[in-house]
Chains A and B, each alone.
Chain A
Amino acid sequence: MSKTRNQQANINYFIRIFLCSMLLTGLFACTTTSEKTTSIDQPVTIDEPEIEEHEKVVIVSPPSVKKHASVPVVKRLLSKSNKKFKAKEYHAAANLIERGINISPDDPILWQRLAAIRLEEGNYKQAKQLATKSNVLIEGDPDLREINNGIINQAKKMQNSNK
């Protein structure tokens, strides 16, 4: 009887040793194969292969910014239009600007003036759109852009207050 009990004890002993060894081996494997511990909350990040120098895209400077300058006849029409604008003759002011646009369709100042006229007339939708168009045509004139943004903001404000 005691021989059987001893054999059983030895078997149990070896099972315990085996299980501990397995546990230790597993723990060892985990610590050596990964620098980071993983958990449900942390995303898995996979490093991208490094791009070789010759494959990298090179950002370059944009082409030289075209400086805007109104042609003399447009300057004259703008001046006449401004006078009409100050006298609150908005239709007449707009007519002069449209003549200017026929001559110089990409002059951002013309579109800006038309935006300002529409703003005064209460046509807020067009005021915003025309000022946006002027912004698209501007390249190197932050002051002009600021005025356009002012018109856009004012038009938005007036639209909201009318709702």
Chain B
Amino acid sequence: MAIFSPKKQWMRWLAIQLFVISIVLLLVFVVYLFSLDKQVQEQFEGKRWQVPSRVYARPLELYEGKELSRKQLTYELGLLRYSKNKKHKIGTYYQRRNSVYIYTRPFQFWDEEQSAILLEVKFKRNKINSIWDVNTGESLDVWRLEPLFIGGIYPKKQEDRILLRLDDVPDKLIETLLAVEDREFYRHYGIAPLSVLRALVANIRAGARVQGGSTLTQQLVKNFFLSNEKTISRKINEALMALLLEWRYEKDEILEAYLNEIYLGQDGNRAIHGFGLAAQFYFDAPLESLNEAQIALLVGLVKGASYYDPRRFPDRAKQRRHVVLKVQERLNLTTLENVMLYDQSPLGISENKPSGITRYPAFMDLVKRQLHEDYRPEDLSSEGLRLFTTIDPWQQNVLEKSIATRLPKLIEKAERKKAKLQVAAMVSDSGSAAVRALVGSRDFRSQGFNRALNAKRQIGSLIKPAVYLTALDQPDEFNLVSLLQDSPIKIALDNGEYWSPRNYDKTFHGEVSLMNALANSYNAATVRLGMKLGLERVGETIKNLGLKRQFALYPSLLLGTTNMTLLEVLQMYQTISEQGFQTPIRAIHTVTTANGEVLSKYPIQVEQTINAESMYLLMKALEEVVNNGTAVYARKKISEKIKFVGKTGTTNDYKDSWFAGFTGDKVAVVWLGDDDNRPVGLSGSSGALRIWTDVIAKTAKRSLELSLPTKITFAKVDAVVHKESEVKCISDIVLPFISGYEPKRRSGVSCVEN
């Protein structure tokens, strides 16, 4: 029997141990590979990237008869980055005689896809006379310019990108990229040891890094999964994952992912990923329009986007661009002459850095608020949704300019009172209740406290229409000429104290007509009326006007001590402008996926909460505010062709200055005040009304024409009015009354007797 020697036994034992250890290590390695593979699949499939939602303004509609100045049209074209150029290239325009020629961009709207055309817009004075498709000679009924991109809703990582398909990417860019970063891309399996050696030699020869050692696949893995740390374990992981990626996916898929993932710059908190967004960020142009030099610059950034940042380090960027241009020349993608020409040329970086930081932060606030109910924050910031909003860039521009012009003088006045004046304002459309402009602070770009949405302030006399509407809704007791007593009143409060409201002019006016009491905003008459009607009834009217939340019913409510936001005030006056139909204020109308599939619609909705007859009478009373009352300044400044109504509001000690009013097409509310509630020394008339007037004078196009409800009768009556501190009895005023409730006598005080 053969007996193994001790040495051979030991060797045998060692071999077995090594075998077992190898099996175990192999098993561990396989398990590890499986986990890496799972990571690769999870990232690559389904939600590959966090693509932020893209938010758009309203598109400018062009049609025959539209009142539009050429100034406004060229302003909007400028915002959309249309350049002045006669070369009939997409994204250009020029003017000739009475026409503006625009080569429009294609766009996928929420309801249809619109192709690019060469459009002629013929003007006659400040109106569009006709619009034409220049190539077909066809007259067009209506055409929309693509909507302005106003910002994105970003993920927490603050990445931003414009998704590209491989077919969208210019061949020159792909060839340049592969030549500089990975010549063997279509041949290797994820890692290329020979390429590393080749790159090393080439870089030593050139004295610069002209070739990269990592493959594109490895770079993609690094961007997708790994950190920037330069450790051996990270390098090993990178290599393994690159192999797995190549094993699972096609070369074109990997390349497409790379083109969308590669880090190419920083804009504040926003990281610029992918060539699509980089083209926009650096050149303010679409990728397909870039020339060789611009492509060379972008490809050069791959090596180090921060180090070669063309805005911060233009010299380095130029040198890097030259290196890449030489590679292009070797590939015959450009000529030597062009290289020399480009070397002498500036980088061509856009001065207007299109920022992901929105131009309209206060409005974006409202957009997010309205979406919050239907979408989780992570969906908004990662699914690449397209949000179509209602903001009108021209209206916003006019609102901001009006405020900027008026504010310095008003600030001066407020500062005498040691107050820091702030402002908030909103403009919406009649009918659709679409928000067209929003300012939340005197710093329009501030992302801070949004006073239009969040500042709850006393509204003063802005509440009075609700009181008078409650009265007019009882036609058996009240009509426009009903006599009210504007005399001292003392009301017992729950705490045992008494409240004695006074008028702003510190006097009482005796008998006044209801219409006149509202026009002159008499406090005593209003409180007497409100107490007679009952606070519950007035509260019900306020709810019917659109204030949804609970509020206390104190007597001082009648003079507007209830705190409201500007948005809530706008909703109330929107209902008045809609003749008693509550129409929810909207900032968004449609949400689609990145591919254009409609996910949510926010349509126009109405609900009649106040009868049309009572509202008609209220509007007539509000006309008096403008014609003879506290808003007469606006009547003098706005064209006679535009009829409008509104109400001033001033709170105690002049702490808040308000004006709310509307024309046939616009509803607008303006507020001025101090965040710390210090008096600003401005009444509704001397403050907010001025800004309101400036905005409406420049943008309102339709006069307010009230539709006559069926149950209204007109009658000649006398009315007691107060005008310029005089008491007058005016005979033969024709006024509306609810049918069946016309007064029998002309007036309590007969003008004939007087």
- Are both chains from one complex? yes
Q: Enumerate chain A interface residues (CB-CB to B < 8 A).
A: 51, 54-63, 65-66, 71-73, 76-77, 91-92, 94-96, 98-99, 101-103, 105-106, 114, 126, 129-130, 132-133, 136-139
Would you call A72 and B65 a contact (CB within 8 A)? yes
B 732-747 contacts with A by CB, 8 A: 734, 742-746
Would you call A59 and B715 a contact (CB within 8 A)? yes
Given A98-B589, A106-B705, A136-B709; A57-B608 close (CB under 8 Å)? no
Would you call A105 and B429 a contact (CB within 8 A)? yes
Q: Which residue of B lies closest to A129 (CB)?
A: B606
Would you call A102 and B65 a contact (CB within 8 A)? no
Set of chain B residues within 8 Å of A61, measured between Cβ atoms: 714
A121 to chain B, nearest CB (A): 10
Judged by a CB distance under 8 angstroms, whether B750 is at the interface is yes
Question: At the interface, is chain B mostly helix, strand, loop or mixed?
Answer: loop
Would you call B601 and A91 a contact (CB within 8 A)? yes
Would you call A51 and B745 a contact (CB within 8 A)? yes
| Segment among B86-94, B219-227, B229-237, B430-438 that sits at the interface with chain A | B430-438
Judged by a CB distance under 8 angstroms, whether B708 is at the interface is yes
Scoring B residues 693 to 727 as 1 if CB is less than 8 Å from chain A, else 0, what string do you get? Answer: 00000000010010111001111110000000000
Would you call B707 and A95 a contact (CB within 8 A)? no
Scoring B residues 594 to 621 as 1 if CB is less than 8 Å from chain A, else 0, what string do you get? Answer: 0000100101111110001000000000
Would you call B713 and A133 a contact (CB within 8 A)? no
Would you call A98 and B604 a contact (CB within 8 A)? yes
Please pick, from A62, A77, A95, A105, the residue contacting B142 in the complex, using a CB distance under 8 A.
A77
Set of chain A residues within 8 Å of B665, measured between Cβ atoms: 105
Given A51-B745, A129-B608; A76-B142 close (CB under 8 Å)? yes
Judged by a CB distance under 8 angstroms, whether B581 is at the interface is yes
Would you call A55 and B745 a contact (CB within 8 A)? yes
Set of chain A residues within 8 Å of B745, measured between Cβ atoms: 51, 55-57
A154 to chain B, nearest CB (A): 18
Pick from B430, B607, B712, B752 the residue with the most CB of A within 10 Å: B607
Set of chain A residues within 8 Å of B715, measured between Cβ atoms: 57-60
Q: Give bound CA distance, A93 to B742, whole Å.
A: 44
Would you call A137 and B608 a contact (CB within 8 A)? no
Q: Which residue of A lies closest to B434 (CB)?
A: A102
A142 to chain B, nearest CB (A): 11
Given A92-B111, A139-B708; A54-B752 close (CB under 8 Å)? yes
Q: Give bound CA distance, A99 to B93, whole Å.
A: 26
Q: Which residue of A lies closest to B613 (CB)?
A: A136
Would you call A102 and B743 a contact (CB within 8 A)? no
Would you call B708 and A65 a contact (CB within 8 A)? yes
Set of chain A residues within 8 Å of B605, measured between Cβ atoms: 126, 129
Closest A-B pairs by Cβ, 7 of them: A105-B431, A73-B63, A76-B141, A58-B716, A95-B111, A105-B430, A57-B715
Would you call A57 and B716 a contact (CB within 8 A)? yes
Q: Give bound CA distance, A138 to B713, whole Å.
A: 17
B 426-459 contacts with A by CB, 8 A: 429-432, 434
Judged by a CB distance under 8 angstroms, whether B171 is at the interface is no
B 31-84 contacts with A by CB, 8 A: 61, 63-66
Q: Give bound CA distance, A57 to B747, whole Å.
A: 9
Judged by a CB distance under 8 angstroms, whether B579 is at the interface is yes
Between-chain CB contacts (< 8 Å), 27 pairs? A51-B745, A54-B750, A54-B752, A56-B744, A57-B744, A57-B746, A58-B716, A59-B742, A66-B707, A72-B65, A92-B111, A94-B603, A95-B110, A95-B111, A101-B604, A103-B61, A105-B430, A106-B430, A106-B431, A106-B702, A106-B705, A114-B604, A129-B581, A133-B578, A133-B606, A133-B608, A136-B580
A109 to chain B, nearest CB (A): 13
Q: Give bound CA distance, A137 to B743, whole Å.
A: 27
Q: Which residue of A lies closest to B598 (CB)?
A: A91
Q: Give bound CA distance, A62 to B425, whole Å.
A: 37
Set of chain B residues within 8 Å of A57, measured between Cβ atoms: 715-717, 742-746
Judged by a CB distance under 8 angstroms, whether B664 is at the interface is yes
Q: Give bound CA distance, A56 to B743, whole Å.
A: 9
Besides A72-B65, A91-B601, 12 new A-B residue pairs in contact (Cβ under 8 A), listed by A number: A54-B746, A57-B744, A58-B715, A59-B715, A65-B708, A73-B142, A102-B61, A102-B429, A105-B431, A106-B705, A136-B579, A136-B707
Q: Give bound CA distance, A71 to B702, whole Å.
A: 13
Q: Which residue of A lies closest to B739 (CB)?
A: A59
Scoring B residues 400 to 436 as 1 if CB is less than 8 Å from chain A, else 0, what string do you get? Answer: 0000000000000000000000000000011110100
Would you call A55 and B612 a contact (CB within 8 A)? no
Would you call A59 and B705 a contact (CB within 8 A)? no
Q: Give bound CA distance, A133 to B608, whole Å.
A: 8
Please pick, from A66, A99, A102, the residue contacting B705 in the complex, using a CB distance under 8 A.
A66
Q: Give bound CA distance, A98 to B433, whole Å.
A: 11
Q: Which residue of A lies closest to B704 (CB)?
A: A106
Set of chain B residues within 8 Å of A94, measured between Cβ atoms: 603
B 106-151 contacts with A by CB, 8 A: 110-111, 141-142
Set of chain B residues within 8 Å of A62, measured between Cβ atoms: 708, 712-714
Q: Which residue of B lies closest to A65 (CB)?
A: B708
Q: Give bound CA distance, A59 to B598, whole Å.
A: 55
Set of chain B residues within 8 Å of A138, measured between Cβ atoms: 707
Would you call B714 and A59 a contact (CB within 8 A)? yes
Pick from B589, B606, B713 the residue with the most CB of A within 10 Å: B606
Given A57-B743, A59-B715, A63-B708; A98-B432 close (CB under 8 Å)? yes
Q: Give bound CA distance, A65 to B714, whole Å.
A: 13
Q: Give bound CA distance, A149 to B705, whole Å.
A: 24
Would you call B716 and A55 a contact (CB within 8 A)? no
Set of chain A residues within 8 Å of B61, measured between Cβ atoms: 99, 102-103
Set of chain A residues within 8 Å of B708, measured between Cβ atoms: 62-63, 65, 139
Set of chain A residues within 8 Å of B430, measured between Cβ atoms: 105-106
Would you call B607 and A129 a contact (CB within 8 A)? yes
Q: Give bound CA distance, A135 to B325, whole Å.
A: 70
Would you call B714 and A55 a contact (CB within 8 A)? no
Would you call B581 and A102 a contact (CB within 8 A)? no
B97 to chain A, nearest CB (A): 24
Please pick, from B110, B434, B604, B664, the residue contacting A106 in the complex, using a CB distance under 8 A.
B664
B430 to chain A, nearest CB (A): 5
Q: Give bound CA distance, A98 to B606, whole Å.
A: 13
